[in-house]
Structure 1
Amino acid sequence: IMGIPNVGKSTLMNALLKKRVAKVGDEPAVTKVQQKLYLGKHIVLVDTPGMLWPKIAMASDGLMLAASHAVGTNALIETEIAEFLGNFMLERYPQLLTTRYGFQTEGLDGISVIEHVAQRRGFRVRGGEFDYEKAAHVLLHDYRTGALGRISLETPETRAAALARHAAEVAEKARIAEEKAAAKAEEAARGKRGT
């Protein structure tokens, strides 16, 4: 059984075997090594640690994985993930924010969503400032546990659009690099002719 971290591979194995044989938890990297279990005479289940791509090319992919808790907490800063999620919720599911936290979303951005969560929940630190980190944690927790509602971070259409934008960005970077290399080569050639 293979997949990204924290999607329920071990839970599936436990369900198939109808007993708890694989340790599970609500965090990535609970399964550390492969575990073989025999379902029958000719069926072997192998529970594997979660796997990710060696390099995540698009930052939005990393943020979506982190928001979904597929990437460990040390991989990214939780407040940045919550800001991303806040912006995403404003764009696609603003009514769920209003329903859950009781504030209007017009004119807000990801940072102000977290500030509003802190205000509505009464999260404060010494000096009366809002506890931004605690509110960010609550927003992510509410998303991960489904307390915000049914949310999809990606659809086939949004994925296609993101890939198209990424391809255009890569092509533009390549074009700029080629122009710089050509200009450098031309400058070097002029320097040789001038001597």
Structure 2
Amino acid sequence: MDINWYPGHMAKAKRLLADQLSRVDVVVELCDARLPYSSRNPDLDKLLAGKKRVLLLNKADLADPAATSAWLNYFRAQGIDAAPYSASTGKAKDALAVIDRAAKEAVERAAQKGIRKTVKAMVVGVPNVGKSTFTNKLHGGNIAKTGDRPGVTRANQWVRITPYLDLLDTPGLLWPRLDDQLAARRLCYIGTVKDDVVDLAMLTIHLLQDMLKVQPQAVMTRFRFDNPDLRGEELLEAVCKGRGFLMKGGVCDYDRCCAVVLDEFRAGKLGRMTLEMPVKKARLTIPGAKKDDESKPQEENSDGEN
């Protein structure tokens, strides 16, 4: 299953984002706390070079707290200012405190000149990690469009948060070639890549297998089967029978099964779950890491295609 998705509006959005950088004091990067490596765009390092950045592990309420703590320690060890957050359930003041900390130097420089600076912060990240929900949380209203699918935000939107903070909500950006197909598949799990460009049956099988590795009992309880070693179509069939996704004659309704499994994972209905962990001495560096670091999150080979 080869996954690539880079619609034309993303190339345009990348150019518009670059055009705004000279106005920006702080960049707030959001990733999904369940996939803190796979849900970061490696191209942002070059694009945002020299800018003060803070990384928010968003949707932390859906992730394993112990795993989130491990990731925070990992990022901080790389010199990355990182914090957990939940744009849907968190408090605006907590996010504002993170931005204030990141903008401290710019504010102090302006204060030395007798100026009360209005900080300009840019929100970036891949599609569907909650950027617009984050913007709305800080604003206190539905100023930015939101949705549970990628591509809802198509244009840059400056929003006045306080008299001293302006926020730029940007469209989700992927990179032109998803060479790391494991990361690409995981992006599909969280809805970063549109469902209609992938094989949903294969994707759902991989997701179920990956969830079984970290939370087998939660998966079997939710989908009502009792064999954690099932793989491939047998696994989908067990979910169909367990949850009653059957058509006339007892035929499995795989389309409904795939839709429900994906929706329930994305909504956190299987409990708090993180699908990748940081480990040492792997092939690629994590985005934003020091050049001499050789770390990458744990990669577990799932049965079937990569």
Coarse TM-score class (shorter-chain normalised) = 0.7 to 0.9
User: Which amino acid is 2:151 matched to?
Assistant: A
Structure 1, gaps ≥5 residues long: 166-195
Q: 1:90 to 1:41 in 2, by over 3 A?
A: closer
Segment drifting more, 142-151 vs 97-106? 97-106
Return the alpha-carbon distance in structure 1 between the equivalents of residues 298 and 245 of structure 2. Answer: 37
* SS at structure 2 position matched to 1:21: coil
Q: Counterpart of 1:58?
A: 180
Return the alpha-carbon distance in structure 2 between the equivalents of residues 101 and 41 of structure 1. Answer: 49
Q: Which protein has greater RCO, CA pairs closer than 8 Å, 6+ apart? A: 2
TM-score using structure 1 length: 0.76
Question: What is the aligned length?
Answer: 164
Q: Output one character per residue of 1:108-151: Cα deviation in whole Å (capped at 9) or x when no partner.
A: 11432221111012222344311112111111111111111111
Q: Output one character per residue of 1:128-175: Cα deviation in whole Å (capped at 9) or x when no partner.
A: 311112111111111111111111121112944439x9xxxxxxxxxx
Q: Output one character per residue of 1:38-62: Cα deviation in whole Å (capped at 9) or x when no partner.
A: 2345532111110112211121111
Q: Output one character per residue of 1:66-108: Cα deviation in whole Å (capped at 9) or x when no partner.
A: 0111111223121121011011122222111122122112431
Return the alpha-carbon distance in structure 2 between the equivalents of residues 106 and 46 of structure 1. Answer: 45
Selected match of 2:137 from 11, 15, 18: 15
Segment drifting more, 27-36 vs 96-105? 96-105
Whichever structure has more helix as a proportion of its residues is 1
TM-score using structure 2 length: 0.50
State yes or no: 1:88 paired with 2:225.
no
Return the alpha-carbon distance in structure 2 between the equivalents of residues 97 and 105 of structure 1. Answer: 10
Give 1 or 2 for the bigger CA radius of gyration. Answer: 1
* SS at structure 2 position matched to 1:39: strand
Whichever structure has more strand as a proportion of its residues is 2
Return the alpha-carbon distance in structure 1 between the equivalents of residues 235 and 215 of structure 2. Answer: 12
8 Å contact from structure 1 (residues 86, 111) kept in 2: no
Return the alpha-carbon distance in structure 2 between the equivalents of residues 40 and 90 of structure 1. Answer: 44
User: Which amino acid is 1:116 matched to?
Assistant: A
* SS at structure 2 position matched to 1:162: coil
User: Which amino acid is 1:81 matched to?
Assistant: L
Q: Counterpart of 1:180?
A: none
Q: Counterpart of 2:125?
A: 3
8 Å contact from structure 2 (residues 185, 203) kept in 1: yes
